Amino acid sequence: MKLNRRHLLAGTAAVATAPYLGGSAAAQTRAETLRYVTGATVNTLDPTMPGSTREAFGVSVNVYDRLVSFGRKQRDGNWVFDIDNIRGEIAEKVDISPDGMTFTFHIRKNAKFHDGTPVTAADVKWSYDRAVSARSLAAAQIGTGSWTKPEQFTIVDTHTVVGKIDKPDRLALPNLCTLYAIVFNSTLVKKHVTPQDPWGQAWTKDNTAGSGAYTVESFRPGEQVILRRNDAWTGGVDGKPAPFRRIICQTIPEAATRASLIEKGDADLSIDLQPSDIDTLVQRGRVKAISTPQFNAFSMIAFNTKMPPFDNKKVRQAIAAALPYDSLFKAGLFERGAKLYGGTWSGTPTDASFPQPMPYKQDVAKAKALLTEAGFPNGFDTFFAFNLGSAAFAEPIAALVKEALAAINIRVEIQKLPDAQISTMVTERKLPFFIETSIAWLPSTDYFFRTFLYGPQRWNYSGWNDQRIADIAEKARFETDKAKYDAACKEMIAIMAEETPIVMLWQPNQDAVMPKNIDGYTYGYHRQVDFRDVKRT
Amino acid sequence: MSLAAGIARRAGRRALSSVPALFGVIVFTFLLMRVLPGDPAVFFASGPNAGQAEIQMIREQMGLDKPIPQQLLLYLKDIATGNLGRSMNTGQPVVTDLINRLPASLELTFTALLFALSLALPLGILAALKPNSLIDHGVRFLCSLGVCVPTFVSGLLLIYAFYYILGIAPDPTGRLDVFAAQPPVVTGFMLIDAAIAGEWESWRAAASQLVLPAATMALFVLAPLARMTRAAMLAVMTSDFVRTGEALGLSRRRVVLVYALRNALLPVITIMGIVFSTMLGANVLVEKVFSWPGVASYALDALLTSDYAPVQGFVLLMAFIFVLVNLTIDVLYGLADPRVSIE
């Protein structure tokens, strides 16, 4: 084509008018943008950094890919993650050897990092070596799936990696689905390593080197993160880019403000509104709530089994029999959740899943009798603690506990403690009994017991160390026969019901509130929003 | 000339005498944070398998594995080199966080103070000119209301009325609408930056975000300013020089606004300094309600999680600002009443 004056003029005119078309483009952007509001903050872009927040986990899920990922299933009409349905993300196929100890991952040929370079076996190997060797949160987590040293991962060719474990571990593959097993662009990260920091952890805190569905457009720690869609992403179920072009993930500390924003349609999604507000919001008809019981979490009253008089099983059983479960459920949670009390079985459970409703119910006469048997006919003095941050639901519960225990002559003083203080006192085993909510990423019964009911880690709230549990759980972990595994799980649940180191209360709902045209929300193991599932209809 | 020299001399002496105070604040906050119950390393050990190893790792990362005297020396050395440590909550150096957040707090506080003064001074003067009149009672009522209603209540009420019901105000989420273009950062003050860049759209957006939180804070500090103005004006209006002025036939306007007000301003300026410093640190509730990314909410979050470095950094910053404000007040004294410089 010959360039003449006419063409030049037409071109100039087109360029000149372009800015004025911005208005309609902006409107379109709003429809293609998801504004997610939360009370929590993102403090790092590297989820394996010690001290990273849950919101940071949520962002990383969308920015980084793993080799494999959990699928999803319907549960009571809502989408939830499915630990038994594992799909490829960077890997297009996983071959598992018949003995269950060798995993061969075939990397997608079209998988690319955000900078356009292809994802190779070397990147995967480097990322996994980092996960098991660097001083980060990753090692402890994926260690629960028998991944402990770099020698377990070998490169076969540019697109094939093999992982080997010593014993068939039922959590080996699920652990590689978690957000600690992310794949970094090793060439990019290696440019920023120093002798003191061989894994580039200082750099990945504020920068990303992933291949995920979104890239980070701006990151203001403690305020907001803006994500932009990676149009070249192929890790989805259908291989297509994510539905939303842009995600604004904004910190709004005040729950009431978040609620108004959603209701006015200025924000599109929130998962941490006050449980007491949800019903009213839904009744006013402008928004919908997707309420999913957090089936991998549980609220409990934990007894310090290392501290008298709670080292006495009868005292723990007495309190378990004295608690007014239904009132607690109403006052604390407005019944927004699934009960973990009032189970109808006794002795051995009929179901091997956990958490499940435990056979606890209020029986004051029995509680009094147990307390007398324990040697406290006149009761005793103690205190009940809860976290200041969860006062909204814990405060009414504490008052009810105090009142209920007064009926069996246990005099309770209530203590509200700030976050850091209560964590310290729990770890140092200085609290007699307290209320807590906790979560396991991988909801398998032996994993729950290993995490919460045995061992020295912070999450063993009751400090309970029963050798029987240790033996059964360690064996169950490597058990491949489902019938034997289920029998082992039932045995552990029965022991726990009898010993009562903690009283299970309920699984609180996760109430995701959004305008009616937002669809596809899926409850994830990390309890954050996977933006890749959400779309506007 | 001698006026300026006097002011400069006094300011210099004040600045010098504040050095020991600042040092004391540093050491005191440092020790106080460590005396507080609660181990930050335990709190931040949040991994799914947090055990002793992870707690120890975080402790080393935060430098808490060393004995306290050594920690203090290291901290002092760091401060001397302009390093205030790293926040665990945001994962950023504290200096960066404070530099990013201080302008937000200052902009809000200045605006609120401006609102408060432009309301308090006329109201105080009016009340003093007609004591025990309907106006006086009205002002007293407004002031009591402002003091009685906690800021988070008035803040939420304003949001409810102007954002939720009427829909006039923008959504109460920070300094700028999330969909608006961010002006390039020069001073950190959104209004100034937008003006420099000539982005008047952004300027309007930032200003409209500022109105509600500033009004909330202004309402709260209205009382001390208005009451102090009234009291000072009442005292001055009965003094000899005002009577003389009136006897000489000067206009009422000239007597009140020039002769009386200037003499009544000294206590108001003192109060203004105190109010300003208090506002900067105590506006945490307003910052929380309006999601304002300021220093006060930053410090509160850090305090709840026993994140030492940001709290220490914040207290040091506040002490420093307090010193600066006092210096400024000294200078203003000299201008309002030249006799002050004669000591």
**Nearest CB to B91; choose among A44, A254, A440:** A44
Is B293 in Cβ contact with A223 (below 8 Å)? yes
pLDDT tens profile A113-133: 999 999 999 999 999 999 999
pLDDT of residue A18: 42
Alpha helix stretches (DSSP H) within A79-178: 121-133, 138-142, 172-177
pLDDT band of B83, cuts 50, 70, 90: confident
Mean of per-residue pLDDT scores for chain A: 89
For residue A251, what is the nearest residue in chain B, using CA coordinates?
B291
Q: How far is B179 from chain A (nearest CA, A)?
A: 8
The answer to whether B39 contacts A424, with C-beta atoms less than 8 Å apart, is yes
How confident is the model at residue A15, as a pLDDT?
43
Residue whose token pair is 């006052």: A331
Contacts of residue A245, Cβ cutoff 8 Å, sequence gap at least 6 = A29, A32, A33, A228, A229
* Residue B297 with chain A: CB contacts under 8 Å: 253
Residue in B with minimal Cα distance to A439: B48
B43 interfacial to chain A (CB closer than 8 Å): yes
Please tell me the total count of domains within chain B: 1
| Contact state of B89 with A30 under an 8 Å Cβ cutoff | no
**Average pLDDT of span A153-157:** 95
Question: At residue A128, what is the residue type?
Answer: Y
Q: Is the pLDDT assigned to residue A60 strictly greater than 50?
A: yes
CB A127 within 8 A of CB A212: no
Residues A435-455 have a mean pLDDT of: 88
pLDDT band at B171 (very low <50, low <70, confident <90, very high): confident
The stretch A128-157 carries a mean pLDDT of 92
Residue B73, chain A, CB below 8 Å: the answer is no
CA–CA dist A9, A5 (Å, integer):
6
- How many angstroms away from the CA of A421 is the closest CA of chain B? 4
> CA B36 to CA B33: how far, in whole Å?
5
B177 reaches A (C-beta below 8 A): no
Nearest to A87 by CA among A67, A107, A104: A67
Alpha-carbon distance of B132 to B146, in angstroms, equals: 20
Instruction: Please give the full DSSP string across B214-265, using - where no structure is assigned.
Output: HHHHHHHHHHHHHHHHHHHHHHHHTSHHHHHHHHTT--HHHIIIIIIHHHHH
The pLDDT of residue B263 is 83
Interchain proximity B49–A43, CB inside 8 Å: no
- Where residue A515 falls (left for φ over 0; alpha for ψ -120 to 50; beta otherwise) is beta
By C-alpha distance, the chain A residue nearest B288 is A253
The sign of the CA dihedral A121, A211, A55, A295 is: negative
Please report the domains of chain A, with CATH numbers, ordered by start residue.
34-255+516-536 (3.40.190.10), 297-509 (3.10.105.10)
Answer yes or no: do A140 and B50 touch at CB < 8 A.
yes
Q: For an interface test with A, which of B35, B62, B64, B90 has the most A Cβ atoms less than 10 Å from its Cβ?
A: B90
Task: Give percent above pLDDT 70 in chain A.
Answer: 95
The boundaries of the domain holding residue B182 are 2-341
- In angstroms, the separation between the Cα of residue B324 and the nearest Cα of chain A is 28
Give this prediction's pTM: 0.84
- Residue B32 sits in a domain whose CATH number is 1.10.3720.10
Residue B305: pLDDT over 80: no
Q: Please name the residues between 293 and 312 in chain B that touch chain A, using a CB distance below 8 Å.
A: 293, 297-298, 301, 303-306
State mean pLDDT over B44-65: 73
Of B51, B53, B91, the CB nearest to A221: B91
What is the complex's ipTM, to 2 decimals? 0.79
pLDDT in tens, B306-339: 788 899 899 889 888 888 888 888 777 777 777 7
The minimum CA-CA distance between B274 and chain A, rounded to whole Å, is 28
**Interface residue B37 vs chain A (CB under 8 A):** yes
Q: Which of A3-7, A74-78, A453-457, B67-71 has the highest mean pLDDT?
A: A74-78
Residue A452 to residues A437, A465, B87, B343: CA-CA distances in angstroms?
Answer: 11, 10, 29, 70
For range A362-380, the mean pLDDT: 92
**Alpha-carbon distance B111 to B105, whole Å?**
10
Contact across the interface for A50 and B61, Cβ inside 8 Å:
yes
A253 vs B51, B156, B291: nearest CB: B291
Residue A242: CB partners within 8 Å, gap ≥ 6? Answer: A62, A213, A214, A229, A230, A233, A236, A531, A532
pLDDT, tens digit (0-9, with 9 covering 90-100), for A380-420: 999 999 988 788 889 999 999 999 999 999 999 999 988 77
Question: How far from each other are the two terminal CA atoms of chain A, in whole angstroms?
Answer: 44
Name the residue in chain A with its Cα closest to that of B88. A51
Query: Any bridge partners for residue A112, and if so which?
Result: A118
Q: How far is A7 from chain B (nearest CA, A)?
A: 33
Q: Which residue of B has its CA nearest to A33?
A: B179
Name the residue with tokens 């500090």.
Answer: B221
Residue of B54, B90, B290 with shortest CB distance to A222 = B90
Selecting from B51, B173, B179 the residue whose C-beta is nearest the C-beta of A261 gives B173
| Chain A partners within 8 Å of B97 (Cβ) | 221-222
Helix B295-304 with B308-336: angle, nearest 10 deg: 150
In B, minimum Cα distance to A42 occurs at B90
Among candidates B38, B40, B47 on the partner chain, residue whose Cβ is nearest the Cβ of A137: B47
**Residue A43: pLDDT band with limits 50, 70, 90:** confident
For residue B330, what pLDDT is reported?
Answer: 78
pLDDT, position B15 = 80
What is the token pair recorded at A205? 């805190």
Question: Are the beta carbons of B174 and A388 separated by less than 8 Å?
Answer: no
Q: Which of A427, A428, A395, A389 is nearest to A414 (CA)?
A: A395
A307: how many CB neighbours lie within 10 A of its CB? 15
- The count of CB pairs under 8 A between chains A and B is 161
The answer to whether the beta carbons of residues A124 and A106 sit under 8 Å apart is no
| CA nearest to B289 within chain A | A254
- Is A251 in Cβ contact with B57 (below 8 Å)? no
Give the confidence band of A524 by pLDDT, cuts at 50, 70, 90: very high
